[in-house]
Amino acid sequence: MSKYWSLTKTFMKTAIGASMSIKLGGTERKWAGIVLVIIIAISFAPILWMLYYVMTDIFLIFDMVGELPVGVGFVLNIGSLLIFVFSMLAAPALFYFAKDVEYVLPLPIKPTQIIGAKFTIALVFEYLIAIALMGIVFFALRDLLPVGVLTFNTIVTLLALPILPMVYSTVLVMLLMRVSRFGRNPDRYTMFVGILAVVIAIGFSMYAGQAFAIDGDALVNSLMGQPVAMTTLNTVFIGNGFAARAFGADVIFGGALHNQLINIAIAAVAILVFFALAKVLYFAGIIGLSESGSSGKKSTVEDISKNTKGQSKFFSYLAKELRLLFRSPTAFTNSVLGAFLMPIILGISLVPLMRSGDFDELFGMINFSDPRTVAFTLVIMTLLGFFIGGMVMITCTTISREGKSLFIMKYIPVPYSTQLHAKATSGIVVLIPALLFMMVPLQILFQAPAWLFVCGLVLVLPGALFINYLGLYIDLLRPKLTWDNEQAAVKQNLNAILVMGISWALAAVIAVLGWFVFTNPWVAFFGLFGITGLLAFTAYYLAIGKGNKLMERLH
């Protein structure tokens, strides 16, 4: 096997190999990982289906005015932009933070072979997006173009599509790593791109909301007017223009072929330019990445005195938990950020409804002097506690995140109950602001009576606490302690899904009870408080009361 292929296989294993397996019943199961990937892929099916319908409409309208290449070019440019963004997110982890390059540098391998192997892996990931996109394009165009030309164009465009955006993003990342100190801190960079990704997702959902609101004719008119954004994308992703023109041809020879040849030639030149630039930028940026060094500023006696203030074991442990949580990009973006962004995303999705006037109608129907409405409001608030509690995934991964460092919990002279209390409290510290962040805007919007809001706060808390302690208990029962990358402890942890599943099932039971039994406000309040309080107490007892025994079992 050539060195290039051997390297590619090895890098691929370090990139995804370990994370494909999931621990079930104490054994790593690769099939479980594959099942999870399939479930995630299926969860994307509705979006792909929706995109298929939108594209079919767009292509049909452009075809009717004889400008199909403009429509195809628009879709290809959006696809290239998407690949560019994904590549910006993935490239640093693959090229720089994987920490595998420093081990192969001393081996007798050419730099181009290392770069080539890394580039190939990045390309494989981006092809997944390209396949999804071009698959939709193929089906959306199948009634408009002869099948031979369509198949030829789809395959060639698919091959070329990810290359240019990937070259742009990777070179940009290499430049960033070469010249700036910012990118050289993996945590800082991952945190930055993680937040950026969420912002882009929100921005995209806002844009999509507006795009679906306008009709197809308006989109055609807008694109035919050569908007600046589209002209810029046409220039940046220069190959897409030729690919789009090829889709306008009825035959391959004398029609699509020469445009696609230019498209492929552009991709090939891009790869050559990439290799030339990577040879200059990549290795100079990666050397010494893992050891950025300290400031070297000597701490004075005053510094030491200022920085060494004692506090109780519990508060010190809690502070440590929160520091590690907020400084870990994976834990922060997945366990904390989501809970605060969800109200914003929900708020944004409500904007079209508010504009349409339907909201005023809805407001008119709400009557807080009606006992049934009050009871129903209390049920909704209780369910909100479950919902937000499920979004804050801190305690359900808190033991897993310890990983190989779990032994520290065992040798420090601090009772397990104190440590587990501190871990549970780190969840509550985030949970309460997250609840208020959701509840206060709702209160401002719906103007419920103050007493009802207070009752709601009383009800929302036990549900959220239940999820918090349940998460800790489940993570104590089956923590994922063997991992190389923290993402495996947080993102690929089935405990979070398990907690979410249990909480949704219980929320459904409460919703049914709420609809059929809790029709009176007092019955609703005490009934809901009793149920959620009992659940919270049971979960607390399991996590903290049984925690000592469960901790002893772990090693």
Partner 1 sequence: MLNLSNVSKTYGNNTVKAVDNISLEVKAGHILGFIGPNGAGKTTAIKMITGILKPDEGVITVNGSNITDEPIAAKQNFGYVPDSPDMFLRLKGFEYLNFMGDMYQVPDNQRQEKITTMAETFEMTGALSARIQSYSHGMRQKIIIMGALMHNPAVWILDEPLTGLDPRSSFQLKEMMRQHAQAGNCVFFSTHMLEVAEKLCDKIALINKGKIIFFGELEELKDKHNQLSLEEIFMEVTANV
Residues lying near partner 1 in the complex (CB under 8 A): 187, 291-299, 301, 303-305, 307-313, 315-317, 319-320, 323-324, 327-328, 404-405, 407-408, 410-415, 552, 555
The least CB distance from residue 530 to partner 1, in Å, is: 37
d(CA 429, CA 468): 11
Is residue 73 within 8 A of residue 240, CB to CB? The reply is yes
Nearer to partner 1, 245 or 401 (CB): 401
Nearer to partner 1, 320 or 355 (CB): 320
Nearer to partner 1, 253 or 411 (CB): 411
The least CB distance from residue 485 to partner 1, in Å, is: 13
Burial class (CB in 10 A: 0-12, 13-18, 19+), 304: exposed
The least CB distance from residue 430 to partner 1, in Å, is: 17
d(CA 41, CA 128): 11
Which residues does 414 contact at the CB level (< 8 Å), separation at least 6?
313, 317
The least CB distance from residue 309 to partner 1, in Å, is: 6
Other Cβ atoms less than 10 A from the Cβ of 11: the count is: 23
The least CB distance from residue 304 to partner 1, in Å, is: 5
Nearer to partner 1, 316 or 349 (CB): 316
The least CB distance from residue 70 to partner 1, in Å, is: 50
The least CB distance from residue 107 to partner 1, in Å, is: 22
By three-state DSSP, how is residue 28 classified? strand
H-type alpha helices, 478-546: 486-490, 494-516, 521-540
State the SS3 of 464-477.
HHHHHHHHHHHHHH
Other Cβ atoms less than 10 A from the Cβ of 88: the count is: 21
Distances (CA, A) of 286 to 153, 188, 189: 39, 16, 14
The least CB distance from residue 527 to partner 1, in Å, is: 43
The least CB distance from residue 455 to partner 1, in Å, is: 39
Nearer to partner 1, 66 or 293 (CB): 293
Nearer to partner 1, 87 or 419 (CB): 419
Which residues does residue 29 pair with via DSSP β-bridges, in sequence order?
22
Other Cβ atoms less than 10 A from the Cβ of 128: the count is: 13
Backbone angles phi, psi at 22, to 5 degrees: -125, 140
Which residues does 24 contact at the CB level (< 8 Å), separation at least 6?
32
Other Cβ atoms less than 10 A from the Cβ of 541: the count is: 13
Nearer to partner 1, 30 or 327 (CB): 327
Nearer to partner 1, 229 or 301 (CB): 301
d(CA 326, CA 333): 9
How remote is the C-alpha of 453 from its chain's centroid?
Answer: 32
Amino acid identity at 380: I
d(CA 525, CA 541): 24
The least CB distance from residue 301 to partner 1, in Å, is: 6
d(CA 207, CA 299): 51
Nearer to partner 1, 13 or 327 (CB): 327
Amino acid identity at 421: H
Which residues does 255 contact at the CB level (< 8 Å), separation at least 6?
149, 246, 249
Nearer to partner 1, 302 or 361 (CB): 302
The least CB distance from residue 551 to partner 1, in Å, is: 11
Nearer to partner 1, 271 or 324 (CB): 324
